[in-house]
């Protein structure tokens, strides 16, 4: 069975929708399933927010050393991260807010960053990069959204858009052309990559890979499913890019297992199949 066949079988085994794109960085082979279809982004949207903020810093419109104070208002309607449980008054740098937004998916930090940008700015940035199916619509998704919410009520993206973004960040580690496309200096592109590598959450892509595997990634969750997008390394070098989005995931599976558990397991199995298949 080919790797593509294995990936299809993993997706077909579940009652929910799984959209993904994989790029073997050693051969250039790509495997897709609904990769150009618009889907809820969850917190994978934050990679583009980070890059838009770094572009603004490169242009002198933002200062990454700017002190940012955690105010109680920033914890409202926030369902992820650590800051919401902390005592207001803590001061961090904007650079650290970006790090918190990415590594712990802290939405207090996301608010800190987005209050210094505009949604229109981030959305236009994505369109300029060629991310045609990515639409930034809200500062923070409303907590009261139903599980069957419409796409237009959240930020959306596609698996292919996220591969494009991650590939460009990867290329920018050595390519001045990619740095120019991102609108960032080599130093800022290196910061972006290191921040992606510092991801704390180890569900999804990482869950079935060897424990010490390096992955530069951003995961996400939503009312309709789970998602993860990352660059997987092997022996210190980029091995493959995988972006996976589950959708229409039941709250509870027929056997009583929470739907999100199978959602994350599906993403992990996809990454594992690529890890094994691309080495053969």
Average pLDDT value over all residues in the chain: 95
What is the distance between the alpha carbons of residues 46 and 38, in angstroms, rounded to a whole number? 17
For the ranges 58-67, 111-120, 149-158, 253-262, the lowest mean pLDDT is seen at 149-158
CB atoms within 10 A of CB 116: 18
Q: What is the pLDDT of residue 139?
A: 76
| Stretch 233-246: mean pLDDT | 97
Q: How far is CA 259 from CA 7, 17, 79, in A?
A: 19, 12, 19
Q: How far is CA 22 from CA 1, 49, 228, in A?
A: 17, 22, 12
* Sequence-ordered strand ranges (E) for the chain: 17-24, 30-33, 39-40, 67-69, 91-93, 156-157, 215-221, 226-234, 237-247
Please determine, for residue 143, whether its predicted confidence score (pLDDT) is greater than 80. no
Domain-wise residue ranges, the chain:
3-44+119-277, 63-115
Q: What is the pLDDT of residue 34?
A: 98
What is the distance between the alpha carbons of residues 145 and 130, in angstroms, rounded to a whole number? 29
| Stretch 143-155: mean pLDDT | 82
Kindly calculate the radius of gyration of the chain based on its CA atoms and give it in whole angstroms. Answer: 18
What is the distance between the alpha carbons of residues 140 and 158, in angstroms, rounded to a whole number? 19
Please determine, for residue 142, whether its predicted confidence score (pLDDT) is greater than 80. no
| Stretch 177-195: mean pLDDT | 98
Please determine, for residue 64, whether its predicted confidence score (pLDDT) is greater than 90. yes
DSSP codes of every residue in 118-144: -HHHHHHHHHHHT-TT-B---SS--TT
* Segment 34-48, tens digit of pLDDT: 999 999 999 999 999
What is the distance between the alpha carbons of residues 63 and 217, in angstroms, rounded to a whole number? 25
What is the distance between the alpha carbons of residues 80 and 23, in angstroms, rounded to a whole number? 30
Please determine, for residue 140, whether its predicted confidence score (pLDDT) is greater than 80. no
Contact 47, 166 (CB under 8 A): yes
Confidence at 280, pLDDT banded by 50, 70, 90: low
* Reported CATH class of domain 3-44+119-277: alpha beta
| Stretch 178-202: mean pLDDT | 96
């Amino acid at each position: 069975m080919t790797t593509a066949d294995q990936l299809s079988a993993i997706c077909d085994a579940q009652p929910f929708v799984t959209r993904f794109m994989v790029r073997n960085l050693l051969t250039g082979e790509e495997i897709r399933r609904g990769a150009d279809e618009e889907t809820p982004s969850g917190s994978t949207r934050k990679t583009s927010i980070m890059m838009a903020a770094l572009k603004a810093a490169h242009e002198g419109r933002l200062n990454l050393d700017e002190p940012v104070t955690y105010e109680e208002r920033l914890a409202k309607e926030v369902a992820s991260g650590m800051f919401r449980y902390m005592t207001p008054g803590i001061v961090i740098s904007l650079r650290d807010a970006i790090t918190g937004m990415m590594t712990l998916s802290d939405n207090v930090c996301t608010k800190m960053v987005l209050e210094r940008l505009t949604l229109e700015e981030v959305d236009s940035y994505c369109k300029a990069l060629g991310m045609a199916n990515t639409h930034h619509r809200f500062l923070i998704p409303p907590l009261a959204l139903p599980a069957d919410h419409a796409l237009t009520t959240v930020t959306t993206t596609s698996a292919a858009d996220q591969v494009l973004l991650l590939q460009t960040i990867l290329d920018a580690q050595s390519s001045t052309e990619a740095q120019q496309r991102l609108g960032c200096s080599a130093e800022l592109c290196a910061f972006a990559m290191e921040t992606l590598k510092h991801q704390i959450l180890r569900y999804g892509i990482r869950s079935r890979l060897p424990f010490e595997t390096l992955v530069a990634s951003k995961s996400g969750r939503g009312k309709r499913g789970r998602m993860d997008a990352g660059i997987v390394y092997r022996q210190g070098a980029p091995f493959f890019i995988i972006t996976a989005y589950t959708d229409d995931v039941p709250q509870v599976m027929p056997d009583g297992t929470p739907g999100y558990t199978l959602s994350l397991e599906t993403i992990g199995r996809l990454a594992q199949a690529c890890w094994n298949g691309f080495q053969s």
